[in-house]
Amino acid sequence: MTIPTTASGNRGLQLEQGLIFEQNTPGMSGVDLPAVPKVADRLGDMKSTKNIGLPGMSEPDVVRHYTRLSQKNYSIDSGFYPLGSCTMKHNPRLNEKMARLPGFADIHPFQPVSTIQGALELIDTCAHWLKTLTGMTAVAMSPAAGAHGELCGLMCIKSAHEANGQGHRKTILVPESAHGTNPATAALCGYAVESIPANAEGRVDVAALRAHLRPEIAAVMITNPNTCGLFERDCIAIAEAVHEAGAYFYMDGANYNAIVARLRIADLGVDAMHINLHKTFSTPHGGGGPGAGPTVLSAKLAPFAPVPMVIKVGEGFDVEEHAGHGTATQSYGRMKGYHGQFGVFVRAVSYMMAMGGDGLKQASGDAVLNANYLLARLSEELTPAFEGPCMHEAVFDDRFLKGTGVTTLDIAKALIDEGVHPPTMYFPLVVHGALLMEPTETESKATLDGFIASLLHLARKAKSGTAEAEFKAAPMLSPRRRLDETKAARKPILRWLPSSDSNGTRQAAE
Ligand SMILES: *Cc1c(COP(=O)(O)O)cnc(C)c1O
């Protein structure tokens, strides 16, 4: 099959269009503004001397330009998005409706506390659910994302060590399979990071962990379920060993969707864990935000939690703003302005209340069922990285591509031609040529079957030994073909300059 080149550069109804500055018709305007009245010039030499260079366009051209840009953004609302570790699930529209209620959307954090009692009650309700689900003593609501919640947990741990004369503990243990944010957070917090290996099963090697524990260790950070999509079965033994060594047990709870309403985190001996509300409790989070990363804390760490804290006073609520008062007796201070990502709290409470405890339990069960369905069906042609069932995500290695000349990247690019957003690739790093897929509970069997059919077809085609060139050319049907992603990341071109012929035509970009 050869893809025809078109005179317009368009592919079907996917229209090719230059940047807005390349569509400039000097002097054209979509609005008819009155002439600027003459005023005395008070700007002196700050006065601009040349045109500011806004492109001249009509209103319909502006509307089309931005509508087309919005359509280039693949999202969970456009189709299946099996990106592992990201929990890209459907976000119920009810949550959006609640977040837009004027009583929630049109208030300001500087309003007198007496006028925002409902908002404070909502934050308290969200905190109550998180504490009830996890069994933990306290929750810091202000962290603005998962990584920010990790920072919050480690700041509490650091403060606790310092308060207990253990400030010399300067190292944090992180498993090889950890999400990149774990070592990054530890480093940002001033800690040295030491890696602990995984065993052949893809879980933390407890013996190796024990061997690393010593008086310099401040904490251990473990993701559960881990990034190999597996439940860390030895958490209780890990917690005991860590506590015996005088360190704290931090759990990365970004994958909480797989276990919510099925176990109490407190029962595993965890001291701190962030919860990605935008993942588990459903807020749209493609493209980097907004999110919220409340951090649940054990009784030992609760006094060090950041301010502000919403507290119950009589029948109403108040905001504790300063360290050393009320519950925040040894608070390490403030992480950000105001009370946290309020709009995300509204969505989370709306989601939790609509689902109920039984609904949340069904969601985690269905998320795990869907992932195991992928694991079982895809094992027909692909090679699972680990033996046995998985939790909420299925991970395959690239043994099934051995000798074919086709790589994990080629499969991912060919999936774009199939109309599927590629899964996470080459992560976790401990799996060679990894394909990590998280279907979530909100995908139907029909959607999963379509995805499975595409992937099995590609695997068979790769194994046929005759399609290597075709794979290397993929994607063929998308507006842009294979890009040099390393170059794009390392040497991004961030500034548009008019081309020398500057007649508005776009240079071929392939
Ligand atoms: C998503 C994720 C994070 C980071 O969360 P952000 O909200 O993106 O900062 C941390 N750990 C794991 C395992 C994750 O999946």
392 lines ligand 1 (CB under 6 A): no
CA of 223 to the centre of ligand 1 (A): 10
341 lines ligand 1 (CB under 6 A): no
Q: How far apart are CA 142 and CA 126, in angstroms?
A: 12
DSSP letter at 322 equals S
Atom 5 in ligand 1: residue holding the nearest Cα: 146
**DSSP for 249-308, written as a single string:** EEEE-TTGGGTTTT--GGGGT-SEEE--HHHHTT---GGG------EEE-TTTGGGPPBP
Q: Which pLDDT value is given to residue 500?
A: 58
Q: How far apart are CA 336 and CA 215, in angstroms?
A: 32
Q: Which pLDDT value is given to residue 350?
A: 98
CA of 506 to the centre of ligand 1 (A): 38
Q: How far is CA 231 from CA 258, 320, 352, 408, 429, in A?
A: 9, 37, 24, 25, 18
Q: Which pLDDT value is given to residue 107?
A: 96
Q: Which residues partner with 316 through β-bridges?
A: 313
3-state secondary structure of 91: coil
85 lines ligand 1 (CB under 6 A): yes
Task: Say how many Å lie between the first and final Cα of the chain, rounded.
Answer: 19
Question: How is the chain split into domains, by residue range?
Answer: 93-352
Instruction: Report the run of H or E that residue 185 belongs to, with start and end.
Output: helix 181-188
Atom 7 in ligand 1: residue holding the nearest Cα: 146
Whether residue 183 contacts residue 193, with contact meaning beta carbons closer than 8 Å, is answered with yes
| Mutation probe of ligand 1 site: the residue of 221, 223, 252 with most atoms within 8 A of C-beta | 252
Q: Does domain 93-352 have CATH number 3.40.640.10?
A: yes
CA of 282 to the centre of ligand 1 (A): 14
pLDDT in tens, the chain (510 residues): 677 888 988 888 888 888 898 888 988 988 888 998 888 888 888 888 888 888 999 999 999 999 998 888 888 999 999 999 899 999 999 999 999 999 999 999 899 999 999 999 999 999 999 999 999 999 999 999 999 999 999 999 999 999 999 999 999 999 988 899 999 999 999 999 999 998 888 899 999 999 999 999 999 999 999 999 999 999 999 999 999 999 999 999 999 999 999 999 999 999 999 999 999 999 998 776 789 999 999 999 999 999 999 999 999 999 998 887 777 789 999 999 889 999 999 999 999 999 999 999 999 999 999 999 999 999 999 999 999 999 999 999 999 999 999 999 999 999 999 999 999 999 998 999 999 999 999 999 999 999 999 999 999 999 999 999 999 999 998 888 899 989 999 999 888 887 654 444 444 333
Q: Which pLDDT value is given to residue 507?
A: 42
Q: How far apart are CA 156 and CA 164, in angstroms?
A: 12
CA of 181 to the centre of ligand 1 (A): 7
Backbone angles phi, psi at 6, to 5 degrees: -110, 155
Q: How far apart are CA 48 and CA 26, in angstroms?
A: 19
Atom 4 in ligand 1: residue holding the nearest Cα: 146
3-state secondary structure of 234: coil
Name the residue among 391, 382, 399, 386 with its Cα closest to residue 439.
391
Q: How far apart are CA 151 and CA 168, in angstroms?
A: 19
Name the residue among 117, 132, 135, 136 with its Cα closest to residue 353.
132
CA of 25 to the centre of ligand 1 (A): 44
Instruction: Report the run of H or E that residue 425 belongs to, with start and end.
Output: strand 424-425
CA of 28 to the centre of ligand 1 (A): 46
The arrangement of strands across the sheet holding 394-397 comes to: 383-384, 394-397, 435-437, 424-425
Backbone angles phi, psi at 331, to 5 degrees: -50, 140
Q: How far apart are CA 159 and CA 2, in angstroms?
A: 63
Q: Which pLDDT value is given to residue 56?
A: 93
| Mutation probe of ligand 1 site: the residue of 81, 86, 148, 179 with most atoms within 8 A of C-beta | 179
Whether residue 238 contacts residue 209, with contact meaning beta carbons closer than 8 Å, is answered with yes
Q: How far apart are CA 148 and CA 336, in angstroms?
A: 10
Q: Which pLDDT value is given to residue 510?
A: 30
Name the residue among 457, 419, 456, 451 with its Cα closest to residue 438.
451
Q: How far apart are CA 496 and CA 18, in angstroms?
A: 11
Burial pattern 41-73, b for ≥16 Cβ within 10 A else e, equals: eeeeeeeeeeeeeebebeeebeeebeeeeeeee
Q: Which pLDDT value is given to residue 479?
A: 83
**DSSP for 488-505, written as a single string:** HHHS--------SS-SSP
Instruction: Report the run of H or E that residue 317 belongs to, with start and end.
Output: strand 316-320
291 lines ligand 1 (CB under 6 A): yes
3-state secondary structure of 483: coil
Ligand 1 atom nearest to CA at 150 = 10
3-state secondary structure of 223: strand
Ligand 1 atom nearest to CA at 279 = 1
pTM for this prediction: 0.91
CA of 426 to the centre of ligand 1 (A): 17
Ligand 1 atom nearest to CA at 181 = 10
- Between β-strands 424-425 and 192-196, what pairing exists: parallel, antiparallel or unpaired? unpaired
CA of 286 to the centre of ligand 1 (A): 12
Q: Which tokens hold the place of 89?
A: 């699930």
84 lines ligand 1 (CB under 6 A): no
Kindly report the number of other CB atoms within 10 A of residue 129's CB atom.
19
181 lines ligand 1 (CB under 6 A): yes
DSSP letter at 83 equals B
DSSP letter at 78 equals T
223 lines ligand 1 (CB under 6 A): yes
